[in-house]
């Protein structure tokens, strides 16, 4: 029994290290020295936290997503997306991780994959106007204005998103040959 527990702990520790290892280390040479140093330090801190076996799944997911956000802020989308994917694997019930993944993928031009990530996020948080807005934008860019319209209408109900949602809704209606209501 004790032997089995030891093997389980070894396997768990190996799995935790795998999350950090699966996030590629980007080439930071093109960045300014201060930015490069800051990102190296953020990565080092994230790796150290991820190697802590006492870290809860929530803390692990937040550490991975924090690393992803740091990379995304500097337009390093491959590692950012990998970090968000890993966060989603650790904590699949949190809408934030597929949302951030969708945003990074959309920024990188991977619209199909971004749409799928936003759909997972929306399934976890159906009342999120921001997820609806982002998914609507992606669907519109993919040429699915008919699918974007209901999402954008719902997003427009949020006062903070109203202007952006109506702008996108106007583009959707125009692309369908309708008289845009948002103009």
Q: What is the pTM of this model?
A: 0.85
CA 36 to chain centre: 22
Which pLDDT tens digit goes with each residue over 63-115?
A: 999 999 999 999 999 999 999 999 999 999 999 999 999 999 999 999 999 99
Looking at the structure, tell me whether residues 159 and 77 fall in a common domain: no
Domain ranges, residue 54: 2-114
Residues 102 and 18 in one domain: yes
Overall number of domains in the chain:
2
Q: In 3D, which of 166, 149, 147 has the Cα closest to residue 158?
A: 166
* Of 65, 82, 114, the domain-final residue: 114
Residues 86 and 167 in one domain: no
Give the pLDDT confidence of 19-72 residue by residue, as tens digits.
555 899 999 999 999 999 999 999 999 999 999 999 999 999 999 999 999 999
- Specify the CATH number for the domain of residue 14: 1.25.40
Q: How many CB atoms lie within 10 A of CB 158?
A: 16
């Amino acid at each position: 029994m004790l032997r089995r527990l030891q093997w389980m702990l070894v396997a768990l520790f190996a799995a935790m290290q795998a999350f950090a290892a699966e996030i590629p280390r980007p080439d930071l040479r093109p960045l300014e020295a201060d930015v490069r140093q800051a990102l190296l330090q953020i990565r080092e801190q994230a790796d150290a936290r991820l190697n802590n076996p006492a870290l809860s799944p929530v803390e692990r997911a937040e550490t991975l997503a924090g690393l992803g956000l740091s990379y995304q802020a500097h337009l390093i989308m491959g590692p950012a997306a990998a970090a968000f994917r890993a966060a989603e694997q650790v904590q699949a019930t949190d809408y934030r991780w597929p949302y951030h993944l969708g945003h990074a993928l959309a920024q990188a031009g991977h619209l199909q994959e971004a749409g799928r990530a936003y759909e997972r996020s929306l399934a976890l948080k159906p009342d999120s106007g921001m997820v609806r807005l982002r998914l609507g934008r992606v669907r519109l860019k993919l040429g699915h204005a008919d699918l974007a319209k209901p999402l954008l209408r719902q997003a427009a109900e949020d006062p903070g998103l109203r202007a952006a949602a109506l702008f996108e809704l106007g583009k959707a209606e125009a692309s369908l040959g309708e008289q845009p209501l948002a103009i």
